[in-house]
Amino acid sequence: MSNLIKNPKPQKTVLTKKIKAGYALLLTLLVVSATPGFAQAKTTPDTPATPAPQAARTDQAKPSGSGGGRRHGGGADAAEGPNAKPEKNAYDYSLPSADGKDIPLSNYKGKYILIVNLGRKSSYNDQLPALIKLNDTYKDKGLVVIGIPSNEFGAAEPGTGPEIQKAYADAKVDFLITGVSKLTGDDALPFYLYLTKSKSAPTGGPVAWNYTKFIVDKKGNVIARLDPDAAPDSPEMLSTIDQVLDGTYKPKKEGGKAGMGAASSDSN
């Protein structure tokens, strides 16, 4: 009994060690729990997280026909749609005046236009009086006659611009005489390139000689072409004009005389 009372020390030492070990463990836990990322490491599952969906790209090209705006630069269809330019007609062109100014053919909208290339030295110039008479007869019925001097065919229109204008004034010509013009080749008057752009009849093909005649309807479309041999007072010419004015004219088929524009045996 006396030995038990005298030797309690070993039990106290064991207890003290256990308490110290407990404090050490608690301190360790406190330190670890304070470490950044500890809570996340404990709560994050082992499976990979699903990535957040990306915002839609705003620069992604829209598929064709999606209704989106066109990309810069256009393409083969850039000229299609409601903004496409309509095909040109006579009213989109001008003729040169004697003093070099432009005469817009749009001035004659709603009229029929008879266009004749002239040459005073040509044997076809004997048609000039009949052309003056035709103008007088039909000008109040909606027909406008325009003469275009050209020196291309047999050098039939020599002289300066003022000399040519005076010559036609002296001949009592009362319809418009334009400035002298080139009617064939790449540098031809743009209006004549338009007139002859088709390679086939009834109105196409280059002008071949003096006094070739074209008729433009009141919508600006070329509807008839007559050879130099078709004099202004000939039945063919008068019948064509009457039919054009009353709306019954039917363009000649390919191969018809109206489409060829060739000179006859005349050298001028």
What are the start-end ranges of the E strands in 5-106? 94-96, 102-104
Is residue 59 assigned to a domain? no
How many structural domains are present in the chain?
1
The pLDDT tens digits for 37-58 are 544 444 434 443 444 444 433 3
Tokens in use for 94? 């001008």
pLDDT of residue 30: 57
| Percent residues over pLDDT 90 in the chain | 54
Is residue 108 assigned to a domain? yes
Is residue 86 assigned to a domain? no
Is residue 97 assigned to a domain? yes
Chain-centroid distance, C-alpha 86: 8
pLDDT of residue 87: 76
What is residue 141's DSSP assignment? G
CB 210 within 8 A of CB 119: yes
pLDDT of residue 75: 31
CB 94 within 8 A of CB 105: yes
Domain containing 114 equals 92-246
Q: Which strand ranges, in their side-by-side order, compose the sheet holding 176-177?
A: 176-177, 143-149, 112-118, 213-216, 222-226
pLDDT of residue 11: 53
d(CA 249, CA 71): 47
Is residue 153 assigned to a domain? yes
CB 102 within 8 A of CB 96: yes
Is residue 75 assigned to a domain? no
What are the residue ranges in the chain where pLDDT is below 50?
A: 1-6, 8, 32, 38-80, 255-265
d(CA 97, CA 214): 19
The whole-model pTM stands at 0.65
> Domain containing 131 — which CATH number?
3.40.30.10
Is residue 62 assigned to a domain? no
Is residue 131 assigned to a domain? yes
